[in-house]
Amino acid sequence: MPEYPEMEHYRLMLAQRISGQPIVKVAVTREKSINVPVETFEAELVGRTVWFVERRGKMLLFHLDNGKRLLLHLMLGGLIRYESNIPNDDGTMPERSDRSVQVTIGFPLGDLCFSGLRLGYLHLLSVKEASAKLADLGPEPFDKWLTLPKFIERFKGKRGSLKTAFVEQRVIAGIGNCYADEIAFVAGVKPSARISEIESDTWERIYNAMHSTLERAVGYGGYMELPLTNNDTVTGGYNEHCFVYDRGGEPCLNCGTPITQEELNSRKVFYCSNCQKDR
């Protein structure tokens, strides 16, 4: 499932392509992907302009010029693709993806296509409805008010492991399986470390590791190799730069010890038994 870096990377790329652009067409082939009748969805969107694209946690919010929002959650298996309508240098049209598209939102220069939304969705919401939908999310990792003391406070009273708390979106929004493990590695603590036993200096390392890891991952385009466009060579680049995630049995990049792969509360977890400690 896409996490903070993947969705932030998509947000940055989409902002360049559709911010300030009018919606010229809408097509829906799977009604379950949206939350209103198809006719209403089309009528509400065609002619509207996307002012800007916001990310909240693992979701994207498309702000429309009439004050309404399109809320996208890709969940597990959801895909987003921007298909350009601009001819190639040789006059031919760019090749289109052969994926079955469930929702298409067309702009003058290209189409925004959504597929694989079996669990995910694209909902048209009012400001109030969008706020209610996002009300249970915790703060963003880079919120200015999320100082180290306030960060530690978010975990206070949690009885489980560091990873279990990290992937809970009410604690910190946007972090999931991959980056919980990556952050723990950079901080030098095991993902399975008990919240109640983590020492104060370790919390500072975790806080700093959260910022450095997410910034690094965004710079590499996230770990999921799902390009947004035909010429997108950045998306998924972090997959080749993961420290521990999905590297079970491979040597640790720091010490050479084979990366351990285990299960924690039915989730895969990856760590270095030499570089990472219990507290």
Report the C-alpha gap between 272 and 223 in whole angstroms. 19
Is residue 230 within 8 Å of 95, Cβ to Cβ? yes
Residues with Cβ within 8 Å of residue 66, at least 6 apart in sequence: 48
Cα–Cα distances in Å, from 123 out to 32, 73, 120? 10, 9, 10
Is residue 236 within 8 Å of 179, Cβ to Cβ? no
Q: How many other C-beta atoms lie within 10 A of the C-beta of residue 203?
A: 19
φ/ψ of residue 170, rounded to 5: -75, -15
* Comma-separated ranges of CATH 1.10.8.50 domains in the chain: 148-272
What is the identity of the amino acid at 213?
T
Report the C-alpha gap between 152 and 51 in whole angstroms. 36
Q: pLDDT tens-digit profile of 70-125?
A: 999 999 999 999 998 877 777 776 777 667 899 999 999 999 999 999 999 999 99
Tell me: domain 148-272, CATH 1.10.8.50, correct? yes
Q: pLDDT tens-digit profile of 2-52?
A: 999 999 999 999 999 999 999 999 999 999 999 999 999 999 999 999 999
Is residue 102 within 8 Å of 120, Cβ to Cβ? no
Is residue 182 within 8 Å of 217, Cβ to Cβ? yes
- Which fold does the domain 4-134 belong to in CATH? N-terminal domain of MutM-like DNA repair proteins (3.20.190)
What pTM did the predictor assign? 0.93
The mean pLDDT value of the chain amounts to 94
Q: Give residue 98's pLDDT.
A: 64
Q: pLDDT tens-digit profile of 210-265?
A: 999 999 999 999 999 899 998 899 999 999 999 999 999 999 999 999 999 999 88
Q: Give residue 92's pLDDT.
A: 74
Per-residue pLDDT for 157 more than 90? Answer: no
Per-residue pLDDT for 69 more than 90? Answer: yes
Region 150-174 average pLDDT: 95
Region 141-154 average pLDDT: 97
* Residue 92, token pair as written in the block: 């031919």
* Comma-separated ranges of CATH 3.20.190.10 domains in the chain: 4-134
Residues with Cβ within 8 Å of residue 16, at least 6 apart in sequence: none
H or E element at residue 115 = strand 110-115
